[in-house]
C-alpha cells in the first residue's frame, strides 16, 4: 500500500494539472460541463496509464455549480488494503467545484 500511496500522491499533481488545463479560468456552463467531465477523466486516466504501473484504475469526476446547495460525497472500498489505494483532488473557482477521485487496484498477475 505504501508503494501505491506514494504513486497516487505523485498523481495528485498531474490530475490537478489536468483540471486546471481543462476548466481553469472558465465559468460554469451547462452546455459544456458534459464535455469537461469527460475530458478530465480521460486525460487523467491517460496520465496514470502512461506511468506503466501494474494497476487497474477508476477515475471519477464531479463538477457542481456554486449556488449554495450542499454536496456530500463518500466512498467505501472492499479490496486488498495492502496493495490498493485511492486519492481525491478538490478544486474550485468562483463558479464551480470539481472533485476528482482516483482508485488504483493492484493487478494480481
Partner 1 sequence: RYCCSPATITVLHAFVFVSCQTAFVVDEVSTIIKESVEGAIGGNAYQHSRVNQWTTNVVEQSLSQLSKLGKPFKYIVTCVIMQKNGAGLQTASSCFWDNTTDGSCTVRWENKSMYCIVSVFGLAI
Binding of residue 58 to partner 1 (CB under 8 A): yes
Q: How far apart are CA 42 and CA 59, in angstroms?
A: 8
CA angle 74, 41, 56 (to 5 degrees): 75
Pull the grid cell for residue 29. Answer: 456552463
User: Side-chain half-sphere of 98: how many Cα atoms within 13 Å?
Assistant: 31
Nearer to partner 1, 14 or 42 (CB): 42
Nearer to partner 1, 13 or 77 (CB): 77
Q: Among the candidate windows 2-10, 11-19, 67-75, which touches partner 1 by CB under 8 A?
A: 67-75
Strand 55-65 relative to strand 85-92: parallel, antiparallel, unpaired? Answer: unpaired
Q: Among the candidate windows 8-16, 19-27, 32-40, which touches partner 1 by CB under 8 A?
A: 32-40
Binding-site size for partner 1 (CB under 8 A) equals 46
Q: State the maximum Cα–Cα separation within the chain, in Å, rounded to a whole number.
A: 47
Binding site residues, partner 1, CB under 8 A:
28, 30, 33-34, 36-38, 40-42, 44-45, 48-49, 55-80, 84, 86, 101, 103, 105, 108
Amino acid at each position: 500500500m505504501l508503494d501505491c500511496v506514494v504513486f497516487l500522491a505523485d498523481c495528485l499533481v498531474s490530475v490537478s494539472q489536468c483540471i486546471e488545463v481543462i476548466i481553469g479560468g472558465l465559468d460554469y456552463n451547462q452546455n459544456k460541463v458534459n464535455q469537461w467531465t469527460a475530458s478530465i477523466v480521460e486525460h487523467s486516466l491517460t496520465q496514470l496509464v502512461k506511468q506503466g504501473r501494474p494497476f487497474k484504475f477508476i477515475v471519477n469526476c464531479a463538477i457542481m455549480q456554486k449556488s449554495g446547495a450542499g454536496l456530500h460525497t463518500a466512498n467505501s472500498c472492499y479490496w486488498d488494503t495492502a496493495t490498493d489505494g485511492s486519492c481525491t483532488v478538490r478544486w474550485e473557482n468562483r463558479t464551480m467545484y470539481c472533485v476528482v477521485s482516483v482508485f488504483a487496484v493492484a493487478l494480481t498477475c
